[in-house]
Chain A
Amino acid sequence: MCNQSVGLVQRVLEKSGLVTISLTNMPFVTEKIGVPRAAAIEFPFGMIWGRPGDGDTHLEILRSMLDALETIDTPGTVIELPFPWPEEEFRKRDWFPTEPTPWASSPEAVNEMLEFIQHGNPLE
């Protein structure tokens, strides 16, 4: 959902005259929303620019984003960044939230969410 929120904000900022690019780890969503420029990366939530202390990766991603900002010339373009999340890091599975998600915290909450998925109005 974060990627939908970012995409919608990005569209408003771009429309106001700012030049924007977003980093997304859910291109599935970003492509649906349609943003002027985006770069997709297969990194987990909470570490989309890389692991803590990995300044080299943060910098490499930033450089790639700036390059893409200059080269993308068609609205809606999503490029892919070639940075893999290492297998040994994947095995840590240390990106999940520590507190149970509210919408999954009770059968009533789950039903409410399922009802929203089927019949809800996201623009509410």
Chain B
Amino acid sequence: MTVDSFKFMPRTLAESLKVWPYTDMSAEEIPWTPLGRPLQECTVALVSSGGLYQECDRPFDLDRERREPLWGDPSFREIPRDISQGDLRAAHLHYRNDHVLDDVGCMMPLAALEQVLAEGRIGAISEKHLTIMGYQPKVGTLLRETAPLMADRLREMDVDVVLLSSG
């Protein structure tokens, strides 16, 4: 692996993250669902951990994180496929929000997804994409409550394929 995981962070943060108590999943097999049909027939959704939300929706709770720095809002939000740039908001204290507020494509490639749909590379795009706020030192609620709800929501929208990306 030549990709340097720590290139863009200050040394103190990098040192912390090297010894971080990550969730140990080694007792459980890595799940696997085979791609059962051609991608050209699949409905695709995006999931971002950038703390993105719609202007009319409830923001991720940053005030509580400011009061309790080991807590991160573990809920999820929905982003319409055709959201306008002006309706996009970001609530995440661990990266500079300005860039995604200029262009959602930095964290959710909505235009690119429409392009590959137009080319016939994928079958359809989900009406809604999902977002979380990825700063979660304690992941219990995200893992046990939020993620299963996200799975239900995606299957409800007949999604087959999910492309996730981090903050």
Residues of A within 8 A of B (CB): 1-6, 8-29, 31-36, 40-55, 58-59, 61-63, 65-66, 69-70, 75-76, 78, 80, 85, 94-99, 101-103, 105, 109, 112-113, 116-117, 120-124
Contact = CB atoms under 8 A, between A and B. Distances in A.
Contacts of B162: 10, 13, 18-21
11 contacts: A1-B136, A2-B49, A9-B146, A9-B147, A17-B33, A23-B164, A29-B5, A52-B99, A55-B105, A66-B39, A113-B137
Given A19-B160, A48-B107, A112 B166 contact: no
Contacts of A62: 109, 112-113, 116, 163
B2 to A, nearest CB: 6
Interface string B28-50: 01111111100100100001011
Nearest to B68: A102
Given A18-B155, A59-B115, A103-B69, A9 B106 contact: no
B148 interface: yes
Secondary structure class of chain B's binding surface, majority of residues: loop
Given A10-B164, A26-B166, A46-B96, A122 B139 contact: yes
Interface of B: 1-9, 16-23, 25-26, 29-36, 39, 42, 47, 49-50, 65-66, 69-70, 72, 93-100, 102-103, 105-109, 111-113, 115-116, 121-122, 132, 134-140, 142-143, 146-148, 150-152, 154-155, 159-167
Nearest to B64: A102
A16 B134 contact: no
A75 B33 CA distance: 9
A116 B137 contact: yes
Contact of B5 (A6, A28, A33, A53): A28
A112 B19 CA distance: 15
A14 to B, nearest CB: 4
